[in-house]
Amino acid sequence: MKIFVDTAKIEEIRQVKEWGILEGITTNPTLLSQTGKPWKEAALEILREVPDKPVSLEVIATDFEGMLKEARELAKFGDNVVVKIPFTTEGIKAVKVLTAEGIKTNVTLVFSSLQALVAGKIGATYVSPFIGRLDDIAYEGLLVLEEIVHLYEIYGIETEIIAASVRNVDHVRRCALLGVDIATIPFSIIKQMLYHPLTEIGLKRFLEDAKKANISIL
């Protein structure tokens, strides 16, 4: 399972990149608004920071023609741009055209396995089911995700599944166990994934014992 970071904050992206585990970035208008920078400046900064990883940038238009125009404009920002298109009837029409033009797409705001099936049929590069937001309305997001993984397997759909709206470390673990292609994870959760109290306690003990045994390697 690839690790994408669900953020538009450059400091967070740099940190995950430094850890050597960054495989892509997803943004949305909410995340861009949280940077405190003009959206275009923030987007271009991200693209410069990671020119070799996919970066999802979302359209704002909701009509077919408007989405196409915005998507073509966003695609000019860099070869690694993936255009995020919401799952609406206008959106799926636009994805079909963009796919034919060779523009990479990420169908977002997906909440059911049938929406994901359609995203696959129209040739989307990625599909983003939102698991946390389903949990929020007392519907198990991971069950929908499991169905999508299953459907994609039985029909040999090549669209990559990005588990989005990931809210905790257990979501990440379960996504990995389901065989999801990608999880896009908020920075705070990536930090939690890298920490284990037993590692900290164990290391403290090893260092104390190294001192007792006068171990000095260099």
Tokens 């590069």 belong to 125
- Taking CB under 6 A as the criterion, the residue among 17, 133, 168, 187 binding ligand G3P is 133
d(CA 47, CA 56): 10
Residue of the chain from 4, 6, 81, 122 that contacts ligand G3P (CB under 6 A)? 6
Residue 215's contacts (CB-CB under 8 Å, 6 or more residues apart) are none
Are 56 and 25 within 8 A, CB to CB?
Answer: yes
Q: Say whether 37 is catalytic.
A: no
Query: Which residue among 165, 171, 174, 182 contacts ligand G3P (CB under 6 A)?
Result: 165
| Part in contact with ligand G3P (CB under 6 A); list of ranges 45-53, 74-82, 128-136, 191-199 | 128-136
- The active-site residue out of 76, 84, 93, 211 is 84
Q: Is 111 a residue that touches ligand G3P (CB under 6 A)?
A: no
Tell me if 35 contacts ligand G3P by CB under 6 A. Answer: no
Question: Distance of alpha carbon 101 from its chain centroid, rounded?
Answer: 23
Q: Beta partners for 128?
A: none
Alpha-carbon torsion (70, 96, 52, 173), positive or negative = positive
* Token representation of residue 111: 């909440």
Nearer Cβ to ligand G3P (105/184): 184
| Least CB distance to ligand G3P at residue 208 (A) | 41
Please state, in angstroms and rounded to a whole number, the distance separating the CA atoms of residues 114 and 118: 6
Closest residue to ligand G3P, based on beta-carbon distance: 165
Binding site for ligand G3P (CB under 6 A): 6, 26, 28, 130, 132-133, 164-165, 184
